[in-house]
Amino acid sequence: MKKKNKHDNLDLECEHKNVREEGGDLICQDCGLILDSKRPYKDSSDARFFSDSQIDYERRIRKNDSRAMQDPKIKQKYDKIKTLNKWFQDYQSSFTEQKKTIELLKSYGIGLNIDNVKYKEIKDRYLKYNKYHRHTYQNMVIIFLAIVWMAIKDTTHIRLEQFINAAQQLGHKINKKMLNNAMQKVRRTEDTFNKQTKTIYDLEKEIKEKIKILFQKDLNQIPYEAVQTHFKDKGEYQKLKLEMQKRVNTILNQISYNDIQNLNYKAFTAGLIYYIGQTLENTKIFTQYLVEKSSKFSSTTIRKKYNVLKEIFGNPEDLILTGYRLE
């Protein structure tokens, strides 16, 4: 039979009467056994000193926060960041916080216009990407902002710098390079979704449809009051705009894909409005100044795109296409 050592006998016979609290643990001073651990630390003198210091520290933090929150600008930023912090729990399945971010971007007064159709396109695109690629909170925010910009960049007058600046004011760490990289990631991912590659015909049709939509949008931005001296009434002005849209269709049907594949569509459309305006009998209606105000592009840019069209079709006054001359 094995002999019990002296230490085992002491443990069995110790009644743990000499107990002291050390660092939040109850320890028997005779045998060294820990009777109770993780007790509240505030009972000991050392713990009391630590607890008081922690309370003072937290009190100072609350006091400083309270003073800062009295500043309306700081409070506004704090509320926005606090709202966006919910993204980490929200981004995997819902779209609640992303919708709030769109509303916040609209509130910055940069002319961000997202209708129900665009909103649904952004939501579907984001959730589809998120289904296959779940990254960290910050990465998904950048992906979301990239998807928003991809949805509006062809139909908005907002510059990329304005969009990035508004996102930065919301508390997002983003720049032009990060946004471009995110857009490339989204496009690569979507290419894997679409197994069928688009033909040149499909790409050409897609570009020309965008130009038609932009042409109509920018043309409608020119108010009747700005050109009323050239017309009897609004009805005559509306009739002229419809005729110009017919001319756009005719011109686009004769432009090849090679001529438009690498162009800035928005700037090209601004030049197209001015070019078609010069095919009218009265060439003084749609001046460069009016086109500049409606498209938000400079006269220099409009003139450059106008010259591109002149190289393709020649001088606008010499252009003869079916149904082109107004009666």
* Cβ-based burial of 248 (10 A; exposed 0-12, middle 13-18, buried ≥19): buried
Query: What is the pLDDT at residue 122?
Result: 86
**Torsion, Cα of 138, 144, 146, 149 (10° steps):** -140
Query: What are the structure tokens assigned to 107, written together?
Result: 């509130």
Query: What is the pLDDT at residue 10?
Result: 45
Q: What is the pLDDT along the chain (327 residues), one digit of tens a residue?
A: 444 454 444 445 677 778 877 666 777 777 777 776 655 444 444 444 444 566 676 667 776 777 676 777 777 776 666 655 555 444 455 677 777 788 877 777 666 778 788 888 888 888 877 766 655 555 778 888 888 888 888 777 788 888 888 888 877 788 888 989 888 888 887 777 665 566 778 888 888 998 999 898 888 889 999 999 999 898 999 999 999 988 888 888 888 888 888 888 888 999 999 999 998 888 889 998 889 988 888 989 999 999 988 888 888 887 765 444 433
- Give me the DSSP letters along 161-198: HHHHHHHHHTT----HHHHHHHHHHHHHHHHHH--SPP
Other Cβ atoms less than 10 A from the Cβ of 118: the count is 16
Give the list of residues 6+ apart from residue 275 with CB closer than 8 angstroms, or none. 305, 306, 309, 310, 313, 316
What 3 state SS string does 68-111 have? HHCCHHHHHHHHHHHHHCCHHHHCCCCCHHHHHHHHHHHCCCCC
Query: What is the pLDDT at residue 41?
Result: 45
Query: What are the structure tokens assigned to 18, written together?
Result: 């000499």
- Cα 135–113–259 angle (5° rounding)? 85
Of 33, 37, 34, 35, the residue nearest 7 (C-alpha): 33
Q: Measured in whole angstroms, how far is the alpha carbon of residue 256 from the centre of its chain?
A: 33
Query: What is the pLDDT at residue 35?
Result: 72
First-to-last alpha carbon distance for the chain, in angstroms, is 124
Identify the structural domains of the chain with CATH numbers, from first to last.
Answer: 19-64 (no CATH), 73-193 (1.10.472), 200-318 (no CATH)
Query: What is the pLDDT at residue 321?
Result: 55
Query: What pTM was computed for the model?
Result: 0.44
Identity at 156, one-letter amino acid code? T
Query: What is the pLDDT at residue 37?
Result: 61
Give the list of residues 6+ apart from residue 1 with CB closer than 8 angstroms, or none. none
